[in-house]
Structure 1
Amino acid sequence: MLYPPEASAGKNGFFYFHDNCLFNDCSNLQKNIVIPPELEEEILPSLQIQTKEEMKYIVWILCVWVLSLPLQAQSYNDVVEQAMDCVKKDSLVQAERLFRQALKMEPDNARNALLFSNLGTVQKRMGKTDEAIESYTLALNIIPYSTTMLLNRAALYLEKDLMQKAYLDYCNVIDLLPKNLEARLFRAYIYMQRREYKEARVDYNVVLEQDVKNKTARIGIIMLDEKEGRHQSAMDAMNLLVSDYPRDVSILRMRANMEWEHGQAEAALFDLDEVLKLDPRDASCYVMKGDICLQQKKKAEAREAYEKALELGVSRAELAEKLKQCK
């Protein structure tokens, strides 16, 4: 990651600044002060300064005082620190205002890339997606190779269904960090949406080379095998996934759907019952159960499943036609 040495990236997506010393060696500064002869002749008598060393000392004090004047007012660093305090307190409106204030105070400060990024993260948390994208873009204009900022912006592009823009950001991250799991997984997802299955498989395999148990990548490979007609390979991988995550309702539901599509209705019903044991309020599971029972001509069981789905919030209009078939 490229950012100034006085800053570090935190796990919450914000960049934190560290204090720097104002002076490295004040004693050397005093010793190295040079008094012009003409100034020495005018000032020494008027101030009743006896020695040249005394004059150097007074000039040094004046220098320190002048240099400290900006610190007496609210400085750029003060405002940034206040903004970060507001972030910690979840006072996001105030944090946003303070970050903007700091950016206006020193528009040419090299650290503004980090402020723009922090501002974007605050705006993202506030639900201001468009403004957050703009802030991350301004940050990337200054630090174009920040993978953290690229990933943050790409996630927002995906949220707005701007697939091509997200794809480009993920590609840029992968160019910089070829083994970045987040970029690989989301780019694979985009490839799947585009039906570019060969490219998606490459990304999923890169992830699995680093993390053989990665659930998202394993599911992706199973979906690819299904789409490419490798049904037995897909089912074998799914069974292994269920054995690794026996209480994951989404995986059990996914296997039930695969079993139903492959004509294994009883196995699908068994998995759906397991899901309902873990999550009795899973309305979609009752709808699927009703569909399988209706296909098997088990109308009473199908109607019972549909009625339960209605109790859990599924609209009657959605199930009206299916309920008619249960009579």
Structure 2
Amino acid sequence: MRHLILFSFLLLSTTLTCAQTFTQWRDSLKTLNRQAALYPDSLELQLGKAAVNLQLLEWEDAIRTCNDILTKDNNNLSALYYRAYANNNLRRHELAKNDYERFVSMSPRNMEARLGLAYTYTKLDRNIDALNETSTLIELYPDSSIVYEARAEIEKNMKAYDAALYDLDEAIKRDPKNSDLFVSKVEILILLNRKKDAKNALDEAVRNGVPRGTLLEWYKKCK
């Protein structure tokens, strides 16, 4: 599911969205380790360590830290989320699924966890379950383009192209300047040999403010 992740875990946490270099993340980890040594019972510091481990792609270290946190606080949502994310990156999808399901059972309206669970279901070839998760998200967040895009990606993988096109149109209504949405739509239309419709979709994107230059490759494919 290319654009997700968005789905991809596009929304790990505010801790993970800070733009830092690899060296800066390393320095942050050293600082957190020193602080954690002084305050070993601080779950906040441990969560900070796990978040930085994820930024550094240190999946096993993140999992160990989350395990320690969950030993002290069995229902810590952040630790469950981080551990699921790390396990998915290690292709331990069943373990990731278990953590996401626990998270959702405690916080059923959380978009990020449900997106993560839907993604994990696709990795386990449980596309119907993934579809159900995204449908639930659409009920919860009907104004979100992200959840429509997520369902469209699953439908595309299932070759349910008409349904995917419908959901992409709904996503575009909510985020008309998102070039990725138009590209996803054009990909499907070209796959269906509907090149005229694909070109019309590109023209619509340009009218909505997407720079034409970013779409030249796709215009060529419509010829």
Given the two structures, how large is their TM-score scaled by the length of structure 2? 0.79
| Residue type of the alignment partner of 1:287 | V
* Residue aligning to 2:45: 149
Contact kept in structure 2, 1:283 and 1:314, CA below 8 Å: no
| 1:275-294 Cα shifts (integer Å, max 9, x gaps) | 12111101000101111111
* Residue aligning to 1:232: 128
Counterpart CA distance in 2 for 1:303 and 1:293 is 9
| Residue type of the alignment partner of 2:134 | M
Contact kept in structure 2, 1:225 and 1:233, CA below 8 Å: yes
Q: Which has the higher contact order (CA 8 A, sep 6+)?
A: 2
Counterparts of residues 1-327 of structure 1 (less than 5 Å): 128-307=24-203, 312-313=210-211, 316=214, 320=217, 322-327=218-223
| 1:211-269 Cα shifts (integer Å, max 9, x gaps) | 23333332233223322222223222322221111111111001111112222222211
SS of equivalent residue, structure 1 residue 239: helix
Distance 1:182 1:303, change over 3 A: same
Following superposition, which runs of at least 4 residues in structure 1 exceed 6 angstroms of deviation?
A: 124-127
Counterpart CA distance in 1 for 2:124 and 2:55 is 28
Contact kept in structure 1, 2:134 and 2:151, CA below 8 Å: yes
Contact kept in structure 2, 1:259 and 1:267, CA below 8 Å: yes
Unaligned runs of 5+ in 1: 1-120
* Offset at residue 314 of structure 1 (A): 7.4
| 1:121-142 Cα shifts (integer Å, max 9, x gaps) | 9xx8998433332221111122
Given the two structures, how large is their TM-score scaled by the length of structure 1? 0.56
Report the identity percentage. Answer: 26
CA RMSD in angstroms, aligned pairs only: 2.6
Count of aligned residue pairs for this structure pair: 203
Greater alpha carbon shift after TM alignment, 303-312 vs 146-155: 303-312
Contact kept in structure 1, 2:63 and 2:83, CA below 8 Å: yes
* Offset at residue 299 of structure 1 (A): 1.0
